[in-house]
Structure 1
Amino acid sequence: MKAYTKHYKRHLLPLGERKSTFPFLAYLPALRRLPFGVFFCFWLLLSGFTAFVPLEEDVPHIELSQVQDYIGKEVWIENLFVAQIRDTEKAVFLNINRSYPNQEFALVVFSDFWEAFEGSDLKRLEGKRIRVFGKVLIYKQNNLQVHLKNPTQIEALE
C-alpha cells in the first residue's frame, strides 16, 4: 500500500518537479504506460485520417471490358448494369450484366459489412446502371469481383 501511495503522490508534485521525458503527459500518468501504437492510432484518428475512398483523380476510371488488366488494383469501374441481386447467408451478390451463374462480374458484400449498408437499400440498384470503387479480385478461376465494405464505394448513375 505504501508503494502505491508513494507512486500516486509523485504525480501530485508541481509540473516542474516531476521527472518525465514527456512533460505534457505528466497530468495523465496512466497514458505514460500505454504502448506507442496506441498513441499512433490516436494521432491518426485526431488527424482526420480517412482511407475509405481516395480522391477520384488518384484512381483510374475504367469500363468493364478493361477489368482484366487491373486485377489486384483499386479502380473506379464505370457504367455497370446490375442484372441481379442475390442474397445468401454469407453475402449479398450484385451480379453485373447477367444473372448468376453467367454473370460477367460480381460485387460482393460479406455479412461482416452488412451493418455498414443498413441504411442503403441495395435492392433499389437492381436493373440500374452504377459505378463502383474497389480492388479487382479473382475468385476461384475466372470470376472477377469487387468486395464492398462501405456504401461510399457504390454510386447509382440513373
Structure 2
Amino acid sequence: MSKRLFLLAPLFALAGCGLQPMYAGGGNGQVASALANVSVAAIEGQSGWLVRNALVDRLGAGAKGGDARYRLDIRLDDRVEGLGQLSNDTITRERRTLRARYQLVDTQSGDVVLDATAGSDAGFDVVNSEYAVIAAEQTALENLSQEVADQIVTRVAVRLREAR
C-alpha cells in the first residue's frame, strides 16, 4: 500500500501545480483557434519564403490574409561566415546563421502584442566539390528555417494563450 502511495505522490503534486497543456482541445482548442487567426506577411528573399511557408504550415489557417485578427511581421538576417581556416587561408568550415526579428500586430487596434527575436545556426564542412558546398548551404537554410519557425510559433502561442 505504501509503495502505491509513494508512486502516486508525484502525480498529485503535478496536478496541483497549475500546469495545463498548451494545445488542449487539439485543432479546436483555444490556442489552435488563436493561431489560426494569425496571418504572415510576405518576407523578403529565399530564406523569407522558406520561413513564411513553415509558419503558414504550423499556424494552420494562418494564410487567411485580410480577415485575420493578428499579423506577423518578420525581418530576417541570413549570414554565412567562414570558421575553419588552413595556413593557406582556405576556409574549411562555414556557419550559417538565421535570425528573425518579429512582431505580432493586432490588426484591429494596430498595437504590437509581441516584439521578439528567434534564431539558430548550423555549421558545415567546405569540401572540394562546389556542388556539395552549395547543397550543404541550402540544407542548412532549410533546416534553420524550420527551427526558427518553430521558435516563433511557440512564442506566439504562449503570448496568445496569456492574452485570453
**TM superposition score category, shorter chain reference:** under 0.3
Q: Which has the higher helix share?
A: 2
TM-score between both structures, scaled by the size of structure 1: 0.27
